[in-house]
Every structure is written in structure tokens, then in C-alpha cells.
Amino acid sequence: MAVRIDGKAVSAAVRARIKAETEEFIRATGVTPGLAVILVGSDPASQVYVKNKKKACEELGFYSESYDLPAETAEGELLALVEKLNGDSRIHGILVQLPLPAHIDEKKVIRAIVPQKDVDAFHAENVGHIMIGDYRFLPCTPAGVMELIHSTGVKVEGKECVVVGRSNIVGKPMAMLLLHENGTVTVCHSRTANLKEVCRRADILVAAVGRPRFVTADMVKPGAVVIDVGINRLEDKKLCGDVDYDAVEPVAGYLTPVPGGVGPMTITMLMKNTLAAAKATVE
Ligand code: NDP
């Protein structure tokens, strides 16, 4: 039976460390880490994420500003706001909640954020830093996954690691972080042949597919660490991961639930990046 990896508990422990570091930083420098969160439109999932980010700022003693813009906001207006925040010394991190409405070019908006304030680590300059292993910021979700893997005590070095999904925000940076810890990494996607067999090789399996219960028991090596990044909303409104939890639980060695696994880690890592961004301004 797999050990359940408790994302809430790991996240709380990391947040306690960030809080202590933040208090010390404010005492030493008089600078309060500041995060600006921009939401365009009224996507219900995005509203929940933004609310949780504000709550995390309050909990950790950060300064925060939030901008709730209507869905019809023009691209130029959003870019002007980003530009204003780029120059605002109280703000160390700028987060534009994705997805944006179709008439706004996401890439252009991400490029407009100065890399020093790009706490999501989506800007090409920060992605480049991730590739060469010289981090300014760690990408939030993959960094959260690494914390969860570390919490198991299982070392990544020398392990077969399989990441299912190759998106720019999860799959690709995830593969890089595992590689930097000396895992032997395979990245799978919708054109991968023999996916089941490839997944079964994994000592560490990370699912970031966006399909409910995609990973079944016959895709999991006995004893493997299985991390479920997926957040899928079912017809009955319940949340469900990319891993068939009940079926995989008897096979895996460690397993994250959804909700309560990777989800709580992502915002915590965002706070870590915002503190790092604030620290960089006084170094
Ligand atoms: P994307 O849709 O951008 O990427 C999904 C990836 O899965 C693609 O690379 C795609 O392959 C691959 N894929 C889709 N179908 C299959 C298949 N049948 N076989 C193999 N691979 C397949 O999703 P994201 O990376 O943005 O997110 C993935 C999941 O993680 C989602 O459920 C999302 O909600 C969740 N998420 C959770 C976060 C958290 O905080 N916990 C944060 C971010 C995302 P291809 O490239 O070939 O199309």
C-alpha cells in the first residue's frame, strides 16, 4: 500500500520556513516582499487561485496588490499595467493569472514582465536559467513536486524518472529539475509509443497530462514514487487527478492525492520566489 504524500503538511512546513525568513529579512532591511496578481476575466478556477495567492501573502506578511480586470480589457491596457508594476519598487513579483482571454497574446504579456519580477519563471530568460541550472527562480509547480519527492526520502540520483506531459509550465521544466538532481529522465507526450511500458520503467513517475485518472495501475512499477500534478474538474464538480488513485495505491510506494498533493505546493513556491526576488533587490 502506497504511503500518501501529504502536500498540505509539506507545504505548511515550507511556509513556516518562508515566514521566519521573511520576518528576518524585513527586520534586517526594512523591505517587505510585494506581489502583484493580475486577473483578467472571471474564470472561476482562476478566481480561486488568485484568492488563495492573496491569502498566502497575508499569512506570510507580504505586501500584495490585486487587479481584477474585466474580460474585455485591451492587450495594451494590460501591458501598460505590467509596465507600471515593473517600475514599482514595492512590487517584487508580478503574476498574470493564465489563461488570458483569447484576444490577448499571452507570450507578449509574459515577455513584458521584467525577468527579475517574473516569479512564475515563465519568461524566456528565466526558462534559460532553468535549462543551465543557474536558477533565479524555480518554476513553481515543478519545484513543489521536487519538495514532495524530497519529503519521501527517496533520492532522485540514478533513478529512472518518467514525466508524462511536455508543457512549458509543467512537463519540460519538471524534466530539467529531475535531470539536475541526476535522474535519468524520459519525457512522454501524446505521440509517445508504448507509453504503458515506458511508465512502468519509472522509479519516479510524474503525471502532468490533464486527463482524469489517466495513469492506471498497470502503468506503475511496484514501489514507485507517483506524483499527480493533474487538476481535473469532473461533471459532478469534484476534483480529480491524472492518476487513478484507488487503483494505483496498492502498487505504488508513495503517492500524492488530488486535492491535497501538488496543489498546495505551487502557491508556496510562488511565495518563495517572491521573497527571493525581494532579497535580490537589496543584494
Ligand atoms: P497541457 O495541456 O499544456 O499539457 C498536457 C500534456 O499532456 C501535453 O504535453 C500532452 O502531449 C500530454 N498528453 C495529453 N494527452 C496525452 C496522452 N493520451 N498520452 C500522453 N500524453 C498526453 O497541460 P499542463 O502541463 O498545463 O497541465 C497538466 C495538468 O496539470 C492539468 O490537469 C493542469 O490542470 C494541472 N496543473 C496543476 C498545477 C498545480 O498547481 N497542481 C499547475 C499547473 C497545471 P502533447 O504535447 O503531445 O499534446
- Whole-number Å distance, alpha carbon 16 to ligand 1 midpoint, is 30
The pLDDT score that the predictor gives to residue 104 is 98
- Ligand 1 pocket residue status of 116, Cβ below 6 Å: no
Give the largest Cα separation in the chain, rounded.
56
Q: Consecutive sets of 10 residues in the chain, 283 residues long: mean pLDDT of each?
A: 98 97 98 98 90 95 97 98 98 96 97 98 96 92 98 98 98 98 98 98 98 98 98 92 98 97 96 98 92
Pocket mutation for ligand 1, best pick of 98, 146, 189, 197 (most atoms within 8 Å of C-beta): 189
244 is annotated as an active-site residue: no
The pLDDT score that the predictor gives to residue 136 is 86
Q: Give the span between the Cα atoms of 134 and 37, in whole angstroms.
A: 26
Q: Give the span between the Cα atoms of 162 and 140, in whole angstroms.
A: 19
The pLDDT score that the predictor gives to residue 237 is 87
Active-site residue among 97, 159, 228, 272? 97
Domains of the chain plus CATH, in order, are: 30-114 (3.40.50.10860), 140-262 (3.40.50.720)
Q: Report pLDDT digits (tens) over 191-234.
A: 999 999 999 999 999 999 999 999 999 999 999 999 999 999 99
- Tell which atom from ligand 1 comes closest to the C-alpha of 166: 9
Q: Give the span between the Cα atoms of 89 and 126, in whole angstroms.
A: 20
The pLDDT score that the predictor gives to residue 45 is 86
- Ligand 1 pocket residue status of 265, Cβ below 6 Å: no
Pocket mutation for ligand 1, best pick of 48, 231, 266 (most atoms within 8 Å of C-beta): 231
The residue contributing the CA closest to ligand 1 atom 17 is 190
CB 97 within 8 A of CB 40: yes
CB 117 within 8 A of CB 277: yes
Pocket mutation for ligand 1, best pick of 122, 147, 229 (most atoms within 8 Å of C-beta): 229
The pLDDT score that the predictor gives to residue 211 is 97
Return the DSSP state at 186.
Answer: E
- Ligand 1 pocket residue status of 230, Cβ below 6 Å: yes
- Ligand 1 pocket residue status of 215, Cβ below 6 Å: no
Q: Is the pTM of this model over 0.75?
A: yes
Q: Give the span between the Cα atoms of 266 and 142, in whole angstroms.
A: 8
The pLDDT score that the predictor gives to residue 283 is 84
At 160, is the secondary structure helix, strand, or coil? strand
88 is annotated as an active-site residue: no
246 is annotated as an active-site residue: no
